[in-house]
Structure 1
Amino acid sequence: MHTQARLIAVTHPKGGVGKTTTTMVLSAELAERGHRVLVADCDAQASASAWANAAPEGKPFPAAVVNLSAYAGKVHREIQKHLDNYDFIIVDCPPGLDSLSPQSVILVADLVIVPLPPSPADLWAARGVKRLIERGADFNPALKAVILPNRVVRTSLSNAIMQELSEFGIPLMSSRLTNRTAYQEAVVSGVSVSALGRDAKAAADEVKALADEVLALLGDGK
């Protein structure tokens, strides 16, 4: 018997950290495994919608995408209308600590993913979302939250920040997305990373590991 969708919020107060990339590659991977997946595009820039709209004719993006950016603080009510029709709803939240959408979504989310490149500015900005998650957990005690290392590169600064992330107070995911051109190629082509073929195998393996870990966190099978 089908149960209500699991709700995943992808959020960070700063723009350009990889929220849309995380949302879209994860949603595509889950959809390609046979799950019914909806992406709720809550960012006024509508990058997730643009990604899906770039799909080749006759080959739609694996997950459904709906633009809910106009609903702001009421977005959680709009999302709840879709709960019975999907297995997973992944929300691409807009940047900004004062944005009402992340605050609204966290009230009903099962899992919050915070994509975080290993840079000082992104780490400093993430402290705000940590407070947001802590406040949300007061109303949503079952809420889980994790940090996803994103655009990871092998430098001494990156390694130092990764060490600091491990002491940040939000669990650090084992999986990570490294700085690969395959992710940008998927955006331009309107496809999943796996659809890029053999040349994108390393990126596809990263996304598979991410999906596996998300399913484990939510207690769902593959």
Structure 2
Amino acid sequence: MRSDANIAGPMTDPVPGPRTESMGADVSRETPSPMDDTPIGRAAQLAVEALGRAGEGLPRPEQTRVIVVANQKGGVGKTTTTVNLAASLALHGGRVLVIDLDPQGNASTALGIDHHAEVPSIYDVLVESKPLAEVVQPVPDVEGLFCAPATIDLAGAEIELVSLVARESRLQRAIQAYEQPLDYILIDCPPSLGLLTVNALVAGAEVLIPIQCEYYALEGLGQLLRNVDLVRGHLNPALHVSTILLTMYDGRTRLASQVAEEVRNHFGDEVLRTSIPRSVRISEAPSYGQTVLTYDPGSSGALSYLEAAREIALKGIGVSYDASQAHIGAQKDPSMVEGIQ
């Protein structure tokens, strides 16, 4: 696979020069068509290669991995990370459920799931004790991907949960009662540390924290980590921070490399080698009700999420990630750039 093309993205790859292949018996297979010499042709080629790589599949976990995507700091890419990692894991052959716990319902929108007020949603599961199976919907265009949507009703759930029995573990009980086989459950949390986030932390075993490569990237993380410790000590002994994902990485700026190095020094092996670049394609995809994996499979953002999903899957079964096999080029390890002076 052409890693040089993936670094810059399909639209910036330089136009190749004249072809000089010999006109042998295999000319129809060896000589690219004129379309391959255009940006659109190359984008299509990258998309086919990316989806082909995803279709290789990955070892499935022995039991369902419940991953909580949390960071109370807004705008760090929680929802974007949740839906694109979920789509990537599904394209790798897994069965994946996204639980949208954010009242804004952005994850539901990005997955093309209808979530107006009358739609059965995760609110009904938490407050009305409706079975999770009755609100889960299959995601269009991505086989093996499902979503439990959020509606605006969820905005009042924080207050309504206060008076309910076992208010912190209602999501956990709903997941335990869900009988369909799943490899992964990804929970998209709201940008706060209220009862909705506590329900997610009680239900999950792993916490994935997206951290943007911007100034004040680590601001506020201390409170989240303290909450994780509190939940682990009192409600969920299995809970731990398993993954840190660097998002909005811009290799052209020195700030990004400094933040990446600081995060790696602080969290060590929990930080994925793969980082997610700042990408217009990633930002555009939700407006079409799609993840970047279906919106532009050949883009650097899509390829980065595919590699991040591969790394998470292999990490979960104790297999070390071979960075030499990644196809993201400079995106895969931003800490290798020049350090802080």
- One fold, TM greater than 0.5? yes
Contact 1:11–1:114 (8 Å) recurs in 2: yes
137-146 vs 127-136, which moves further: 137-146
Q: Out of 104, 122, 125, which is 2:199 matched to?
A: 104
Q: Out of 181, 200, 204, which is 2:302 matched to?
A: 204
One-letter code aligned to 2:140: P
2:16 alignment partner in structure 1: none
Q: TM-score, normalised by structure 1?
A: 0.84
- In the TM superposition, 1:59-74 aligns within 5 A as 60-62=140-142, 63-67=145-149, 69=154, 70=157, 73=168, 74=170
Q: Out of 145, 157, 165, which is 2:263 matched to?
A: 165
Q: Out of 145, 165, 173, which is 2:242 matched to?
A: 145
- Structure 1 residues 35-75: Cα deviation after superposition (integer angstroms, max 9, x where no partner): 211100000111011122369xxx81522111354486332
Unmatched 5+ residue regions in structure 2? Answer: 1-59, 115-138, 162-167, 320-341
Q: 2: CA distance between counterparts of 1:75 and 1:168?
A: 31
One-letter code aligned to 2:212: P
Q: Out of 83, 87, 97, which is 1:28 matched to?
A: 87
**Higher Rg of the two aligned structures:** 2
Residue identity (%): 26
SS in 1 for 2:309: helix
- Structure 1 residues 100-153: Cα deviation after superposition (integer angstroms, max 9, x where no partner): 222222234232110110223331122222222233343324634221100111
Q: 1:219 to 1:152 in 2, by over 3 A?
A: same
Q: 1: CA distance between counterparts of 2:285 and 2:275?
A: 17
Contact 2:67–2:185 (8 Å) recurs in 1: yes
2:105 alignment partner in structure 1: 46
Find runs of 4+ consecutive structure 1 residues off by over 6 angstroms. none
2:315 pairs with 1:217: yes
Q: 1:108 to 1:30 in 2, by over 3 A?
A: same
SS in 2 for 1:124: coil
Q: 1: CA distance between counterparts of 2:267 and 2:101?
A: 26
SS in 2 for 1:176: coil
Q: 2: CA distance between counterparts of 1:100 and 1:219?
A: 31
- In the TM superposition, 1:113-192 aligns within 5 A as 113-138=208-233, 139-141=236-238, 143-154=240-251, 155-169=253-267, 171-192=270-291
SS in 2 for 1:96: coil
63-72 vs 209-218, which moves further: 63-72
One-letter code aligned to 2:149: N
Q: 2: CA distance between counterparts of 1:108 and 1:44?
A: 18
SS in 2 for 1:206: helix
Q: TM-score, normalised by structure 2?
A: 0.57
One-letter code aligned to 1:16: G
Q: 1: CA distance between counterparts of 2:79 and 2:318?
A: 23
Unmatched 5+ residue regions in structure 1? Answer: none
SS in 1 for 2:265: coil
1:194 alignment partner in structure 2: 293
Contact 1:109–1:143 (8 Å) recurs in 2: no
2:183 alignment partner in structure 1: 87
* Number of equivalent positions: 216
Q: 2: CA distance between counterparts of 1:13 and 1:64?
A: 25
Contact 2:65–2:184 (8 Å) recurs in 1: yes
